[in-house]
Amino acid sequence: MFRKILPVFLVLSVVFGWRAARGARADQAQKVQARKPQAAKSGNTKKTKKTKKTPEEIRSDKARLYYGEALWAEMQGNYQKAIKDFTMVTVLEPRSYKSWLHIARDYRKTSRAMDAISALNNAINVEPKAPQAYLSLMESYWELGGLVKNAVHTGERAMKNGVSPAIILPDMGWYYYLANDKANASDCYKKAYKTDPKNSVLVNNMGLLLFSEGRYGDAISRFGEALKLNPGSVLAPYFEALSYNKLGKEKEALEALRKALKKDWRLPEESAGFNNKFFPWANPGDLSKLFAKLKPAPPALKNSSVKARAPKKIPSAAPPKNGRGAAKGK
């Protein structure tokens, strides 16, 4: 009897055991599935968490946007919009030195000199040791009507605040020169030369001052020195040529003028503008005859010994041939 029941009992045990294992696996899968959304939710919470910007950071972001818009407007020549946007930058960041410089430049572009001067003074208040605002302010005073005293006072203020005399003195000397105050111009140039003897612009200007005093030989020495400091200069050899021409040394004047023309072939057309700019109180002289002597001859006249070549004869087309290889009609 037991032997008959035993196989049935074993079969039932296997069936119930399989069902129990299947149910356990299903319960475990449900638990795992239930945990997954929670893990994903927890992960999403970390990713979407954002830190709040401070008011300073928000202002800085806005200032950058306005600054970019202003630069673009300036590039397009829309100076009114550029002024408006740069002004917004200074409202958000009052110590934006570059914005004040841009505002001043755009005011000068629109012929608003007094507004430019005000903006430059704001720039100086922000960065009293930075030279650019002082230099621009000196130029603005001169453009306003030759206010050399204001320009000089600005230069003195710059040096008092710690700006290097090597940067300021050459410009002070230049405005004295433009105002025909040769004594003060010479004094500024000499002091500047002691601090920076390798400034080619300064040395050139020293030569211009000597030229205006009729000291052409000394001027030539300065122009030659300036050319050594800046071999690519067009003005230095041109000023040399003017000085040699004043001394009646045509050969040397031609040689100096040839050097200048090698660097800028448009010099004959540009020379009138240079004369007006650099010689407000002196007569630079006329180099038109020297320019004419250096003017290159047309290509066909460069060498008269070269004979013109005879034009090539274009061969006529060969007459058609007959079947036997002979030309038709022959």
Question: What's the pLDDT score for residue 10?
Answer: 44
Contacts of 11 (CB under 8 A, 6+ apart): none
Give the pLDDT score at 298: 52
* Among 65-69, 124-128, 244-248, 316-320, the least confident range: 316-320
Establish if 315 belongs to a structural domain.
no
Check pLDDT > 80 for residue 33.
Answer: no
The two three-digit tokens of residue 186, written as one number: 């010479």
* Range name among 2-11, 19-28, 126-135, 255-264 with the lowest pLDDT average: 2-11
Q: Domain check: are 135 and 116 in the same one?
A: no
- Name residue 73's amino acid: A
Range of the domain at 159: 128-196
Q: What is the pLDDT of residue 275?
A: 96
The residue that leads in pLDDT, 134 or 299, is 134
Does 280 share its domain with 209? yes
- If one counts the domains in the chain, the total is 3
What is the rounded CA–CA span in Å between residue 202 and residue 180? 17
Domain assignment present for residue 156? The answer is yes
Cα first-last separation, the chain: 138
Is 141 in the same domain as 117? no
Dihedral Cα 278, 283, 287, 289, nearest 10 deg: 160
Are both 223 and 186 inside the same structural domain? no
> What is the C-alpha separation between 197 and 208, in angstroms, rounded?
16
Whether the predicted pLDDT of 65 surpasses 60: yes
Query: Is residue 328 predicted with pLDDT exceeding 70?
Result: no
- CATH number of the domain where residue 290 is located: 1.25.40.10
Tens digit of pLDDT for each residue in 111-165? 999 999 999 999 999 999 999 999 999 999 999 999 999 999 999 999 999 999 9
